[in-house]
Amino acid sequence: MAEHLLEVEGLKKYFPIKEGVFSKTVGHVKAVDHVSFKIKQGEIFGLVGESGCGKTTVGRTLLSLLEPTEGLVKFDQQILYNTETGERINKNDLRKLRKEMQIIFQDPYASLDPRMNVGMIVSEGLRKHKLVKNKKEAIEKSKELLELCGLEGSNVRKYPHEFSGGQRQRIGVARALALEPKFLVADEPIAALDVSIQAQMLKFMTDLKDRLGLTYLFISHDLSVVRYFCDRVAVMYLGSFAEQAPTKKLFKKPLHPYTQSLLSAVPKSDPAVKKKREILKGDVPSPADPPSGCKFHTRCKYAEDKCKIKIPVYREIEPDHFVSCHLAEKINA
Amino acid sequence: MEKITLKAEGIKTSFQTSEGKVVAVNDVDLTIKEGKILGVVGESGCGKSVTALSIMRLVPQPNGKIEEGRIEFMGKNLLELSNEEMRKIRGAEISMIFQEPMTALNPVYSIGNQMNEMLKVHRGLSEKQATERSIELINMVGIPRAEKVIKEYPHQLSGGMRQRVMIAMALSCDPKFMIADEPTTALDVTIQAQVLELMKDLNEQMGTSIMFITHDLGVIAEMADDVVVMYAGKIVEEADVVTLFHDPKHPYSVGLLKSRPDMVEEDEELEAIEGMVPSLLNMPKGCPFNPRCKHCMEICKEKMPVLKEITPGHKVRCWLYDQEGGG
């Protein structure tokens, strides 16, 4: 088996901005701008960043739910698309591949169809892919899946509104697991849940991974959750990766100034420790009109002239630790 | 002896719903000391926002009702004031910051218009004076180009800026007391850090007492001097912030602290509280936490424990610490 389950190279997704009566394209929102990474078999890859940094778009473009602007995505040795050679997977193969890669959405209230009962929701994929012979078998299978996700099988006849947020999220997971995928994109799966329920969900997802040998792409804005849950983390800023490293390394020694201030912005959990925080000035610039050179230079306290002009190269500064900053060596010396 | 800004005793607020009466806040006592920040933590539906609305007397009518209690502020019982008198206090002496700045600001009025209104009504300033003061306030909360911002509308500002405008409005009449209901929940971490820093500065410089409502324990650790933990409409634990984080007593507080990934050490297991928050319509008998509690005893299923002071300033509502009472 190949070491890497998923390989992404130079992924770009631009959304056109249209204006006027004839919807003339006047510019682009560079939601994802040249992103490359690899996810190993059995790994939990975390993607963190502030709202609007493009993390959700990465997840969706990977799954071919959105058409990429440019780039190469390889899943399990199979090329999903490669815009350089114009190669892309045919529709039938893509449908087969969809079984292998599933997604869990952020909002458990919006991602379940309120008019379908739970059994139908969970087994929709199974029926679509004709993996079950009839409705009865579909319901049986849904029951098993619900039980796997810690809900009672008898819930199949109920409707989504009868469940709490945490339970709905489990239904979402059961639906994602129905096709026995290898790879799950979890897009902020716990952000909408209460604190005590978040912990339940995280434990449950860890447990599933161990039992079913899953690989996750875990999208989150919560650094402490990522630190606890992920093996490897990439920090995104305005559509590009600022830094990527194994979790322990990244949290111990962040090299990019953005990661440093992001970590410092997280409220400390011990009231006895009074720390001086590094507060980032200003807001995130608009992705429709990102700053020239290094996108972070408008908020970076180390910024020099060259940061304003030249786009930094995303490079491996230490073994297995990638950074895109001109000054990484200098400021971390 | 520390001075007290606001003292609430035995607040009970209920709502009439189609499925019957629901008591959202039940027998809640709060003391906010002058110049201090009181943190109120709890999960959704525990009654923390309703407590705040009860203090402001903004409980939605006609379904909501403050049934019992006393809220003492500046020598008056707020619950006995006429609507007219209350209106004079609201915004001027007690102000409130809401979670979602987009819904709290009026989209069809400019920022300056909304800020001036408060100053004109409560402080009797002229349009010109009010505008000057608004610009001053907007500068104070760290928004650049204040002269332009007051002419803009809420949708033209980013989330962080809107929340700053809310804070500027809340401060405009130099209130003695400010209620902040999840003021940073809708914001990104770096923006949250900016807003928290701003609120902390204002608290220190102007001596405004703050009641800070949040579900985020990290924010509490950072901001609060004292903390109350709420569960299902009741206070279950009350202590100063260091004591609560280092020596929590109530099983719910302990669980809440253990379930945060940033609280556990590396390689340590996360501990989740099993089950879910009970529905207010269907409360378990006895202690409302008993179905989820690891230490649940017979008495917990029978009788509600009282909020008992175990060491000075540290109160817990749990039978584990109330042997005499429990018998």
| Residue A172 in this model has a pLDDT that exceeds 50 | yes
Highest mean pLDDT among A255-269, B67-81, B191-205: B67-81
Token pair in block for residue B88:
């004079």
* Residue in A210, A208, A248, A242 with CA at minimum distance from that of residue A226: A248
Percent of chain B beyond pLDDT 90? 61
Peptide bond into B62 cis (omega under 30): yes
Q: Confidence band (pLDDT; 50, 70, 90) for B267?
A: low
Beta bridge partners, B30, equal B8
Number of Cβ pairs closer than 8 Å across A and B? Answer: 116
Which residue from A173, A211, A206, A210 is spatially nearest to A189, judged by alpha carbons?
A173
- Phi then psi for residue A179, to 5 deg, are -95, 15
Considering only CB atoms, which chain B residues are within 8 Å of A262? 189-190
Tell me the average pLDDT across B221-242: 94
Residue of B nearest to A277 (CA): B193
CB of A227 less than 8 A from some CB of B:
yes
Nearest to B192 by CA among B173, B155, B167: B167
Determine, for residues B272 and A203 on separate chains, whether the beta-carbon distance falls below 8 Å. yes
pLDDT in tens, B271-322: 888 887 888 888 889 999 999 999 999 999 999 999 999 999 999 999 998 8
Q: Return the pLDDT at B265.
A: 67
Give the number of other Cβ atoms within 10 Å of residue B277's Cβ: 21
pLDDT at A2 (0 to 100) = 62
The answer, for B42 touching chain A at a CB cutoff of 8 Å, is no
> For A241-252, how does the pLDDT look when each residue is reduced to its tens digit (9 = 90+)?
999 999 999 999
Whether the CB-CB separation of A272 and A263 falls below 8 Å is answered with: no
Q: What gap in Å lies between CA B322 and CA B327, rounded to an integer?
A: 8
Calculate how close chain B gets to A47, using CA atoms only, in Å.
Answer: 15
Q: How many CB atoms within 10 Å of residue B218? A: 20
- One-letter amino acid for residue B201 of the chain: D
Hey, is the C-beta of A301 within 8 angstroms of any chain B C-beta?
A: no
What would you measure as the largest C-alpha separation in chain A, in angstroms? 68
Residue B79 or residue A288, greater confidence = B79
For chain A, the average pLDDT equals 89
ipTM over 0.90: no
User: What pLDDT does A287 receive?
Assistant: 82
Task: Kindly determine whether residue A268 and residue B264, on different chains, have CB atoms separated by under 8 Å.
Answer: no
- The structure tokens 């490669």 sit at A82
CB contact under 8 A, B193 and A270: no
Residue A193 pLDDT > 70, yes or no? yes
Cβ contacts of B232 within 8 Å, gap of 6 or more: B45, B46, B47, B277, B278, B280, B283, B288, B289
Q: If you measure CA to CA, which chain A residue comes closest to B278?
A: A164
pLDDT above 70: percentage of residues in chain A: 98
Q: Determine whether B217 is exposed, middle or buried from the number of CB atoms within 10 Å of its CB (0-12, 13-18, 19+).
A: buried
User: Between chains, do B245 and A270 touch, taking CB under 8 Å as contact?
Assistant: yes
- DSSP class of A283: P
DSSP A297: T
Residue B327 banded pLDDT, cuts 50, 70, 90: very low
Of the pLDDT bands very low, low, confident and very high (cuts 50, 70, 90), residue B17 is confident
Q: Does A319 touch chain B (CB under 8 A)?
A: no
Q: Which residue has the tokens 């350089």?
A: A84
Chain B hits for A221, CB-CB cut-off 8 Å, are 188-189
